[in-house]
Amino acid sequence: MNATHSTSSSGGSGIGSGPLGYGTPTCYFVMIGTKDNPIYEAEFVSVNTARSSSGGATIPEAKKEEFRHLNQFIAHSALDMVEDIQWSTNQMYLKSIDKFNERFISAYLTAGNIKMLLLHDAKGEDVIRNFFNECYEFYIKTLLNPFYEPNSVISSPAFDTKVRLSAKRYL
Amino acid sequence: MASFQQRSREFSARELVTKVMSPRIAVVASQGANELCQANHLASVVDLFRPFGEHIEGRVTVHGSMGLPSAIDNFTLRFTEMDQLEEPDAKSSERWLSEIVRASAIDFEDRFQIKSAEQVTPDYLHAPPERVTPWYAKYRDVFFMTGGVSDHETFEHPVACVIAVSSLSPDPINEIHQLNNLSTPSIVFEKTFMDPTLLKYYVLIHDCTKGNLDNALETLDRMRRTFGLHCNILKINSIDPESAALPKERNAHIWARSVAQSKILAMGHAAKDPATARNSLSSITSTGASGTLADLTSQRSSMSSPVYSTGSNSPIFAQNPVFAQLGNDEEDGTFDQEPMALPPSGNQSLNLDLLLRPEVPREPYGCCMSNEDVNAIISVLREMLAQSIIPYMERNINHWNEQVAASRKGIAGRFRRYFGTGSKGPAAAQQSPMTGPNGGVIYPHAAPEAQMRKLADWAFMLRDYKFASSVYETAKKDYASDKAWKYYGGAQEMIGLCQLMAPQQLGAKNDVDHYIESAVNSYIHKAKSPFFGSRATLLAFELFKQRNMYRESPVTLTRMTAEVSDLRNGLFLEQAAHCYLKLPRPSVRKYAFHMIMAGHRFNKADQKEHAYRCYMAASLVYDGKGWGLADDHISCALGRQSYQLGKSEEVLDHYKKLLRESRQSPQQQAVYMKEFLSVYRDYTNKIEADPLRETFPDFPLPVVLGSTARIVLSTSQATNEHNDAWAELEGNALAASNASGQRTISAVGEHVLATVNVKNPLQIPVILTDVILGCEHSTSTTMFTVPVDAAEGAHLALYDQQSPEFQGKVSFAAFDCDRIDRIILEPGQIRTLTFEILPKQEGQIKVMGLHCNVEGQVHAYKDIVKRGKRLNKTKEQMMAIMYDEDKSLDILVAPEMPLLDVQFHSSPEMLLSGEVCELSLEINNRGKKGLKNLHVRMSHPTFFCIGEKKDQGDLGLYNKSEGSSATETIEVDNSLQLTTSQRILDQILSPGESICVPTWLRGEKIGKHNFLFVFSYESEQDGTAMGTRTLRHTISAQVLPSLKINAFTRPSTKGLNEFILGIETENLQTVPNFEFLQISSMSASWIIEAVEKSDESEEYRSIAPRQTVFTYYRIKKSDQATVPALTPERFMAKALEKLVIGQEKLKDVPPSLDLQLCHLSTTDSHINSTSPVLKYFSRTSRLGWRQVSLGAQFSSIPATVDRRNLFSVYGSNDIDLALFWNIPKMNRRGHHYITGINLGVQQNPFQPLDPADELEEGSEETARRALYEQTMRDQAALVQALTMNPHFRDESPVKISMRSEDSIQHPFSTKHLCNTPVRVVIKNCSWNKHIAYTLEMLSSKDPMVPQRVAGASGVSPNDSTQIQDSTNPHTNAHPFFWSGPTFSTGYLEPLAEVEIVLLACFTQPGMYDINRWRLAVQVVKSQRKRKNAAESKKQIKVEDGDGFEDVNLDGGSASSAAAAPQGIGKGFMQMPNLAHYIQVSSS
């Protein structure tokens, strides 16, 4: 279940050998509303990945920019896996549900059917669980705001700051 | 037969596998035999046999490895030319495959339009894959044909060889011998892995029309004798096509497809080997009649698409500098000019066409064949299969099984392999493995490993899957240990396929996928053989599909993506995408993602149509979800692909979506912009339109923020601040203008400003040029119907009007409009554009939208959409979100109107508090019509006095009169009416005329003030649409503190109703000396007069900085005061009562009042009150104060009640003071007002009216009843609030004063007692209250009643020792006594006064405080209730047991009035609070 795309590649090839599948060393966090609409997106360069990837080929910034859309594609397609797996557990944290080349997709399903997805390289489950839990808390606080309409884009800079801080702490 | 073609198209996956892995038969035919076939337009015997070999109907019996017979349906034999056993040229077959895939995309329509799981209908799920993705099936079929002999497997190795000769040949036997020799040393067999021993089968082909059958049969006999039993005769060509009446094409469908395939294969082989190429080419050209070829060429061009016609892709594209440049650095190779283009060869296109449309035969294949002939072919093939090939294979299988496989099985066999038991003879060299070209191991055909493989393959062909699988398993181990990866992969692949082919169900936990994965990995990564990897994937995928294993399929398919062929990857990814839809829970998003990846791969493979199709399909899923970057990627890809496909309209649609607010980087957006502009240029070039003339529909730039668009008149100023204040001021004027519905009303010839906010959503700057408003003019002023394309028309008019001398303005018949030549919108910037519109005709102008040229290349028109307020009245409106129609962008153009312009001249920025400055108000009519009825409303009416023009000559501010003091009486309007709207002019101001009106500004209040003015005026011409026009004007000034004035009054001891006024004046300024000029009083009943001055008057006059000066005056009742019949207090009380009892309309206003003005000047002349300015200021000042204080005191009165009908401006006991000053050095002058000194008796204006007072008996009754009937709570609350008003504390209306001689000489030596008369004057100062009083004179020993007089004179109340004399700090040293009556009661009417004479008796000389009395006051009913009062008199007296005797000194009316007070009102207890000393000295 976890590996729809098995890593057939030994030499860095695979589905992403083309430019579409460029492996970016950043984490990508997205919250997705009930209509498959992203309500919050963020990309973090995590300390761990930055270090681990420093040995490999350095990626020019421009390239990184170009393939940001891939994150969106991957996250969106992972929603199918969330829907498959959500009935098989009573946990909100669904752990790593999908995999695209070397990148894992961890998911967290809130009670309001808002999905939080994180694209990341292999990492500890607990760390990601903590990160998700904090983000969920931030999200609940956002929901308390009477001017925030549920399922709409979260544009609050405070929320963004908090998520990024939390990401810096955990990821 | 008719179902033949169809069945061959729709075979099951198992059939497909058996077909692909069926025995291959090589064919060697003599020239004569081929010529016989060519009569049927078939190139060779192979072509003749091939369609029948594909599907041999009927059942054949096969004996498996255990010798058990089993039946096989529909066997397949693949016929091949002997020299075409190897795979065709890889490049050419790639090319063919790609052309086939490309061609099948043309005219394909996606019927299913998958957006979400709802579109995954049974219709889709049950649709055959040929209809969903036809190119895939075509690719698959042709792909399997492109295989050739390989070292690691034997499926492509021929099982048998058919040798065909013609019966027409003069010496068939010899010919067969020659062919036999030819076949054996074929080049293919030089390779060591090929086994040259084949089953030979001889066929004699007999032409029934040309040859003699007997001869043929004889030849067959001879063949049988020479070559054994594997001989047969085939009779064909029994019909002469020239003579027969049958249609020539009747049999063509049988061959059409296979002929096309074989031609392509021939091409492939030809490309590989130039020598054979010539042959096959010639053979093909020989078959085509010249006429048909031409037809075909023309036909082909008619169905041509850009792909076909242009060879190299899209020449426009290459010429385009932007794209040419992009193509170089573009990573994904979108614009790479791949050398995929085919050389424009007619033959190839012909073949392609044949292959793509085999259903439509071009040539009369098999025109000489009768039905018998066709059946003869089938029966010959069946015979060959059943009697020769299958037995041969069975035999060989058994043989190899015993020889090789059996020995391999078991542990001994495995060891034997390593220790090499065998003979090291010449066979050993043949059996030992050798190294292949790719570094892998190649076993010679005689090696046991190769033979094992062959055994298993043959068993597989005969469908003994279980046995084959076991053999593969055995062989696999050998391959693995030898690191023969290709062999190993092949074995793994076959094991997997065997499992899938086996009829039984797979277990839940099967490892089929594991085998396939291992096979693919070995093939691709180790053996570098992508063809076999793809073949394994394809076969496994097909079998998975048949078993509904859709979850495994995408895994299998995407595993191949590392491989080089982008086309194949694209196809596989697309299939994988469709697999996701077929899962029990359709995974639409996975589908979309795979479609995107497929599209990407197709794009790289130069399959633009497919790439476009895939992206389009995926975009349906992503559409509208807000994945910005993904959407941009899709739009960009679609835009580029549709451009390359020549779909220019769609290109623009896709690029349009890119120009929006997104998280893209600025560089990326710049690229999008550049590409879009270049595409648009191409497009407009193509359709030969001027890009600046034609409007790009729905162009996304710039974003017009319609809701903030506004239209303002050019005369308005300060539009943004003080909106509330303006609204309040304009209250009336607006109500009038609202009749025409929010529209702005302007007049012909007057500028109107339209402001529109535009936003640049991009992160790159955008240049807008030639920006103009799209306006519509209509001559009707009520209806407005705009033709749909009116905006367009306006734009075109504008465009045509452009000329060099054109100066920032566009003229239309009805109006002129500004044009903005060029603005740059910075990234994300919002800019306000202001346009000036000059209406030139009466009617209506509607601002519709904004025309602009973006980047000077695209003309865009944006509607300005402004909604009215949200409607929320009906339920329907509440449920849906509906908005009112907005008309604020309409301009109603009235006929020519006056246009007012005002200007305040010499308006000071700073003035002192109280200072009065003279300004000049210039009124200018800039319009075309005369102006009348000019009114002004001010936010600060107390600050400004606007004079009238006619007064200019004699109007002064401080008019002087002779004499240092004077009194005047003026009559003032006492109604609380602030004339908010002041009329300025009563003449008509003709156009262009300008007049100045004097105006005075007085610093009424300290602080910074913004004075708002609303001028309203009308045209001299009646009945215009506009009615009243208004003009806003604002000026500001700061008022600084000047003098701080405190005034206080205290009762004078001199007179009963006199006061001392003290004024404390402090100069707050630091520099100037204020000079005190005059004090004036204004009151209905009081006047001031100077007290005797003890100091030099000079000191009063000048107040130095930071100094305080006290001045004192006396206030007394004016002698001349005439009390009107209806005093203001009475009016107020009545009005309040009416309000309380609920009289609906209060109409009365207080009558005017005579005011006594008293001027006391420090100089010889005094300032009189003739100046209307002064009158105005004093009145507005008083009004302002009065309104504020009334607002605070009567907040309980509802706002709906007009206070003008309740209260008066002046009370009869109020006195206002005005202090005039100047600063000689600075030439400033001014005056301060002290308002609100009330010298009357403090009481609540809301008085329960004495019924005797005014009201008639009858009306009183109705009033009371009305009061009872009014039971509403708010009424009660109002009464409660009025009666308990905390701002008023009733005080006793009675004033008392003692008069006596100050010092008495008395000869105490002669007379011991000194009796002195003391006159006590008691006055009822109330205007309405009747009181009963009880005066008790206290002797010096009598205790006061301290509890009643709380804290009367500064003695702390808890000091009990002093309580006794708390009111009298100086205890008389010697007591004195009152002699005679010491107790007096009486009744006083309002304003009545009574004097009582008492006798004070002193026994010794000394100082005595004779102010010792106690007065009880009770408000009583008036005398008209006297009877009742008298009746209750006795009762009171009884109660008053120890009371004094009634003493009636005054006699008369007082005696009966002294009757017991009827307690209707409050009672008061009064005590003396000052000592009144008498000196008694001994004479």
Residues B629, A10: C-beta atoms closer than 8 Å: no
Give the minimum alpha-carbon distance from A130 to chain B in angstroms, rounded to a whole number: 26
B601 contact residues in A (CB cutoff 8 A): 18
Portion of chain B with pLDDT greater than 90, in percent: 0
For domain B1294-1482, give the fold.
Immunoglobulin-like (2.60.40)
Interchain CB contact of B665 with A (< 8 Å): yes
Interchain CB contact of A9 with B (< 8 Å): yes
User: Which of these, B971, B916, B1402, B950, lies nearest to B1169 by C-alpha position?
Assistant: B971
Q: Find where tokens 């990326």 sit.
A: B668
Pick from B592, B601, B633: which is nearest to A69 by CB? B633
* Cβ atoms B581, B591 nearer than 8 A: yes
Interchain CB contact of B589 with A (< 8 Å): yes
**Tokens representing A137?**
């808390």
Residues B593, A74: C-beta atoms closer than 8 Å: yes
Q: Find where tokens 């025995």 sit.
A: B23
**Tokens representing B630?**
């993904």
User: Which of these, A26, A25, A36, A46, lies nearest to A73 by C-alpha position?
Assistant: A36
Q: Which residues pair with B822 in a beta bridge?
A: B769
**For A27-72, how does the pLDDT look when each residue is reduced to its tens digit (9 = 90+)?**
889 999 988 889 998 888 755 544 444 444 444 454 555 567 888 8
The ranges assigned to domains in chain B are 2-88+147-241+254-286+352-381, 431-531, 695-714+750-893, 898-950+979-1040, 1043-1266, 1294-1482
Q: Within a 10 A sphere around the Cβ of B896, how many other Cβ atoms?
A: 17
Residues A65, B332: C-beta atoms closer than 8 Å: no
Q: Which residues pair with B944 in a beta bridge?
A: B1001
Interchain CB contact of B521 with A (< 8 Å): yes
pLDDT for residue B954 is more than 60: no
Residues B627, A38: C-beta atoms closer than 8 Å: yes
pLDDT reported for residue B340: 38
A35 contact residues in B (CB cutoff 8 A): 625
Q: What is the DSSP letter of B523?
A: I
pLDDT reported for residue B1246: 66
CB neighbour list of residue B950: distance below 8 Å, 6 or more residues apart: none
**For B34-59, how does the pLDDT look when each residue is reduced to its tens digit (9 = 90+)?**
888 888 888 788 888 888 887 777 77
Strand B1228-1238, strand B1413-1420: pairing: unpaired
The SS3 call for residue B780 is: coil
Interchain CB contact of A88 with B (< 8 Å): no
Give residue B868's identity as a one-letter amino acid code. G
Give the minimum alpha-carbon distance from B940 to chain A in angstroms, rounded to a whole number: 40
B149, B151, B192, B193 from B445: Cα distances, Å: 13, 9, 6, 4
Strand B1228-1238, strand B1007-1019: pairing: unpaired
d(CA B598, CA B595): 5
B668 contact residues in A (CB cutoff 8 A): 65-66
Long-range contacts of B626-629 (CB under 8 A, 24+ apart): B626/A37, B626/A38, B626/A153, B627/A37, B627/A38, B627/A72, B627/A76, B628/A72, B628/B662, B628/B663, B628/B664, B629/A68, B629/A69, B629/A71, B629/A72, B629/B662, B629/B663, B629/B664
pLDDT reported for residue A137: 93
B633 contact residues in A (CB cutoff 8 A): 69, 73
B559 contact residues in A (CB cutoff 8 A): 6, 8
pLDDT for residue B499 is more than 80: yes
* Cβ atoms B1402, B1316 nearer than 8 A: yes
pLDDT for residue B1263 is more than 70: no
Q: Which residues pair with B494 in a beta bridge?
A: none
d(CA B1456, CA B1386): 8
Between B671 and B560, the higher pLDDT residue: B671
Q: Which residue of A has its CA nearest to B580?
A: A80
pLDDT for residue A136 is more than 90: yes
Which of B115, B485, B627, B664 is the best residue to mutate to test the A interface, defined by the most A CB atoms within 10 Å of its own CB? B627
- Alpha helices, DSSP H only, in B645-750? 648-658, 666-687, 723-729, 731-737
Between B189 and B344, the higher pLDDT residue: B189
Between B1293 and B455, the higher pLDDT residue: B455
Give residue B576's identity as a one-letter amino acid code. A
d(CA B1450, CA B1432): 22
d(CA B494, CA B774): 74
User: For the CA atoms of chain B, what is the radius of gyration?
Assistant: 61
| Element containing residue B944 per DSSP (H, E) | strand B944-946
Interchain CB contact of B493 with A (< 8 Å): no
pLDDT reported for residue A108: 92
Give the minimum alpha-carbon distance from B317 to chain A in angstroms, rounded to a whole number: 23
Q: In what order do the strands lie in the sheet with A38-44?
A: A38-44, A27-32, A115-120, A103-109, A93-100
pLDDT for residue B990 is more than 50: yes
Superfamily for domain range B898-950+979-1040:
Immunoglobulins (2.60.40.10)
CB-based burial label for B692 (10 Å; 0-12, 13-18, 19+): middle
d(CA B367, CA B362): 12
Between B1162 and B78, the higher pLDDT residue: B78
Q: Which residues pair with B1481 in a beta bridge?
A: B1305
Give the minimum alpha-carbon distance from B1023 to chain A in angstroms, rounded to a whole number: 50
Give the minimum alpha-carbon distance from B523 to chain A in angstroms, rounded to a whole number: 13
Q: Find where tokens 């469709």 sit.
A: B578
Q: Which residues pair with A27 in a beta bridge?
A: A44
Interchain CB contact of B582 with A (< 8 Å): no
Residues A68, B668: C-beta atoms closer than 8 Å: no
B667 contact residues in A (CB cutoff 8 A): 62, 65
pLDDT for residue B25 is more than 80: yes
Give residue B1269's identity as a one-letter amino acid code. E
Q: Within a 10 A sphere around the Cβ of A136, how many other Cβ atoms?
A: 19
pLDDT for residue B1376 is more than 70: yes
pLDDT interval class at A6 (50, 70, 90): very low
Give residue B16's identity as a one-letter amino acid code. L
Between B498 and B114, the higher pLDDT residue: B498
User: Which of these, B140, B104, B573, B137, lies nearest to B307 by C-alpha position?
Assistant: B104
pLDDT for residue B700 is more than 70: yes
The SS3 call for residue B42 is: coil
Interchain CB contact of B585 with A (< 8 Å): yes
Q: Which residue of A has its CA nearest to B671?
A: A66
Between B230 and B1253, the higher pLDDT residue: B230
Residues B596, A73: C-beta atoms closer than 8 Å: yes
pLDDT for residue B222 is more than 70: yes
Pick from B525, B592, B633: which is nearest to A10 by CB? B525
A83 contact residues in B (CB cutoff 8 A): 585
Interchain CB contact of A74 with B (< 8 Å): yes
Which of A2, A4, A105, A154 is the best residue to mutate to test the B interface, defined by the most B CB atoms within 10 Å of its own CB? A4
Interchain CB contact of A111 with B (< 8 Å): no
Fold matches, B898-950+979-1040 and B1294-1482 = yes
User: Which of these, B1048, B1043, B1046, B1041, lies nearest to B1076 by C-alpha position?
Assistant: B1043
Interchain CB contact of A83 with B (< 8 Å): yes
CB neighbour list of residue A12: distance below 8 Å, 6 or more residues apart: none
Q: What is the mean pLDDT of residues B577-605?
A: 87
The string of DSSP codes covering B270-292 is: HHH-HHHHHHHHHHHHHHS-HHH
Q: What is the mean pLDDT of residues B472-486?
A: 84
**For B1199-1219, how does the pLDDT look when each residue is reduced to its tens digit (9 = 90+)?**
667 777 777 778 777 888 888
Interchain CB contact of B625 with A (< 8 Å): yes
Q: Find where tokens 């004078």 sit.
A: B1052
pTM across the whole model: 0.64
Interchain CB contact of B115 with A (< 8 Å): no
What is the distance, to the nearest Å, from the Cα of residue B1164 to the centroid of all Cα atoms in its chain?
A: 76
Which of A1, A13, A77 is the best residue to mutate to test the B interface, defined by the most B CB atoms within 10 Å of its own CB? A77
* Cβ atoms B1031, B733 nearer than 8 A: no
User: Which of these, B1065, B1110, B1063, B1064, lies nearest to B1088 by C-alpha position?
Assistant: B1063
pLDDT interval class at A21 (50, 70, 90): very low
* Cβ atoms B752, B818 nearer than 8 A: no
Strand B830-839, strand B752-759: pairing: antiparallel
What is the distance, to the nearest Å, from the Cα of residue B1251 to the centroid of all Cα atoms in its chain?
A: 69
Which of B574, B601, B625 is the best residue to mutate to test the A interface, defined by the most A CB atoms within 10 Å of its own CB? B625
Between B92 and B980, the higher pLDDT residue: B92
Residues A20, B597: C-beta atoms closer than 8 Å: yes
Give the minimum alpha-carbon distance from A84 to chain B in angstroms, rounded to a whole number: 8
CB-based burial label for B1089 (10 Å; 0-12, 13-18, 19+): middle
